[in-house]
Amino acid sequence: MNAPADLASGLPPTRPATPDDPLITFYRAIPDGRDPIRADRTALGTIPAAAMQYCEALTTASAFGWYVFLPRTVWVQWDGTDAVWTHEGLDRWISVKNDLYPGADDWFDGHVPEDVRGYCPPFVSQTLAPGVIQFWTGLFVGTREGWSSLVRPMANVPRSKQYEVYEGIVETDRWFGPLFINLRMTCIDTPVELSADRPLFQVQPLLRETYADRQLKPMGMVPGLDQMPPGMWARYRQTVVGPNSGERRQPGAYAVGVRKRLAAEG
């Protein structure tokens, strides 16, 4: 007997997640490329040393998620209307259409079920928006039930002036498919290198409940300090007044507190 389909997705229901399940799983769908890596507290070495020591908020945000790479270094050029691209090992430009990764179609078809053959995702695609080009990482991605994936520029890493990385949230516990990124070109008639040795974007896990409309619609607002609840003043004394009221201010009190809590939690 076939398993009953999930009413929302039309798919067989997933088993309940367990604490041992990874929050996210990447699946390589082509033979080449680097695996994603955990994002870096130093934001690829760009954060100043003082911020590394004292600004826990900055380093925590930087390390939230995973860095993702393209499987091969490519170059792309946009003339304001059309785009062309090339890759390492190729000595000519190709018009951006729906182009497969080199050799991926044969490799893909040789490793997938028969009814999936011919459905290898394109590596480089022209979108309907002028100057916006989509790149596939060569990966599929899935998340634990109830979790989505935020695809975004790398947190706190200086951004290129030649392109912008679009952000998007995908319900990757329900939608299983290619992990791709959309780039908006911001320069024309200039070859732009996208190196396979440098992460292109960051993937962060989001519990779907955190961005549900019912959670975001309500917003508290206290219109003046005279209406501040007493409990909030108590917290302000703890976080601001206390650490700054001594003869010698102790920098990084927040960072120390967070690190102690994380160490206690294991």
**Which residue, chain included where needed, has tokens 């703890």?**
238
The pLDDT value recorded for residue 39 is 97
Residue 190 in any domain: the answer is yes
pLDDT for the residue 197: 96
| Residue 250 pLDDT | 64
Write out the two tokens for 209: 């409940």
Between strands 94-95 and 98-99, the pairing is: unpaired
Element (H, E) at 84: strand 83-87
User: Does 107 reside within a domain?
Assistant: yes
pLDDT tens readout for residues 207-242: 999 999 999 999 999 999 999 999 999 999 988 888
| Domain harbouring 137, CATH code | 2.70.40.10
Whether 227 is covered by a domain: the verdict is no
- Domain for residue 234, yes or no? no
pLDDT at 51: 85
In whole angstroms, give the CA distance from residue 229 to residue 225.
Answer: 9
- Domain of 86 in residue numbering reads as 26-215
Q: Which residue has the tokens 């798919």?
A: 11
H/E element holding 254? helix 253-265
pLDDT < 50 positions in the chain: 1-10, 12-13
Number of domains composing the chain: 1
CA dist 250 and 243 (Å) reads 6
Task: Report if residue 147 sits inside a domain.
Answer: yes
Domain annotation covers residue 32: yes
